Amino acid sequence: MSAAVAVPASAGGMRVLEVVRRIIQSYLFTRILRGLAIIYIVVTLTFFLVRLMPGNPIDIFIFNLISQYGVTYAEAQAQAAALFSIDLKAPLHLQYLSYLRNLLRGDLGMSILSPGTPVSAMILKFLPWTLFSVGIALLLSFTVGVFLGMLAAYYRDSWIDNLLSSLASGLSSIPNYLLGIILVVFLGVKTNLLPIAAMRGSLSPGVEPGWNLHFFLDALYHAALPIATYVLTTFGGWMLTMKSSTISTLEEDYVHVARAKGLPDSRILTAYVGRNAILPLFTQLTIAVGFIIGGSVLIENVFVYQGVGQLLLSAISRRDYPVMQGVFLIITISVVVANLVADLLYGVLDPRIRVKGGD
């Protein structure tokens, strides 16, 4: 009886081992492990690199107290010790191990220069505004770029193609922060077309966040210039990529067959050419989504827009280590996840792609 029972148990154990082996060897599992390794490396580098920056938050705090209020060094040091929850005098490896332990528990720590304020709460306060502005801008940029790219490819070597390609190349070569400064100077200072000072921030005074049209329009009003800057400096890349992909697709045999059947150009351009030419851009769009959080640092600073980018710049200038580490961690995770989704999405969109281990 014992032998009869042992055989199925052994067979069941073999099946479990086989399932585990297939999971470990799968493409998805390998990519997840690689992503986790990248996140760990970035977390470690960020921890040590921010501490190599000249000055530290406690020294800056003490210096400000002495210079502004005339207190003695001992009094300023005592106030700093009472306020700050981090011991920057501890050995670096002990600080690192403590940081990793807290991170594994989902604790990003407390802001040094805003005592009692969790870093996660600060990020959650600013993150929605960045997602709102850059998210809308990315969708607009992608849509405009794809449409103009198809148009330029279909009328290639014409004045339409030359005009659109020149415009896309010119705007793409301008750094976004420089274009932002130009918009501020031209629209707000030279011509007074826009009330730049009133458009600063993420909301007007007295406007409460909520699911209503008034809140949405006010948020859009304050995000208008960052959105316009992002769209103007990025749609050219989408357009030129779509143009190149569309030109290649126009030479495919099925396009010539569709023309021979007498199908209208609008039908060929949308149903045959556009659908296939846009495939490579979808994976690029997915990757670009991962850069939403960190892709607006300089733009937000130019327009004083209260998003994660401005939070990061403020933390860097004030040497607020936990906030810097938290923002860099969120950016890294978003980029890694976006790359993973892009790999998987391309295999779904294009059945010709077969990833390793994917059955």
Q: What is the pLDDT of residues 301-322, one digit of tens each?
A: 888 888 888 888 888 887 888 8
Cβ atoms < 10 Å from Cβ of 324: 23
pLDDT bracket for residue 2 (50, 70, 90): very low
Using an 8 Å Cβ cutoff, are 299 and 350 in contact? no
Q: What is the pLDDT of residues 122-178, one digit of tens each?
A: 889 888 888 888 889 999 999 999 889 888 888 888 888 889 888 888 888 888 888
The predicted model gives 292-304 an average pLDDT of: 79
Q: Which long-range contacts (CB under 8 A, 24 or more apart) does 178-187 make?
A: 179/229, 179/232, 179/233, 180/225, 180/226, 180/229, 180/298, 180/299, 180/302, 180/303, 181/302, 183/225, 183/228, 183/229, 184/225, 184/302, 184/303, 187/225
Cα gap 111→121, rounded to integer Å: 10
pLDDT bracket for residue 355 (50, 70, 90): very low
Q: What is the mean pLDDT of the chain?
A: 79
DSSP alpha helices (H): ranges in 275-320? 275-277, 279-290, 297-303, 308-318
What pLDDT was estimated at residue 144?
92
Domains and CATH numbers, the chain: 119-349 (1.10.3720.10)
pLDDT bracket for residue 357 (50, 70, 90): very low
Q: Lowest mean pLDDT: which of 3-17, 29-43, 60-74, 141-155?
A: 3-17
Whether 5 shows a pLDDT value over 60: the answer reads: no
Q: In Å, how far are 173, 242, 247, 253, 275 from 268, measured between CA atoms? A: 33, 16, 13, 12, 10
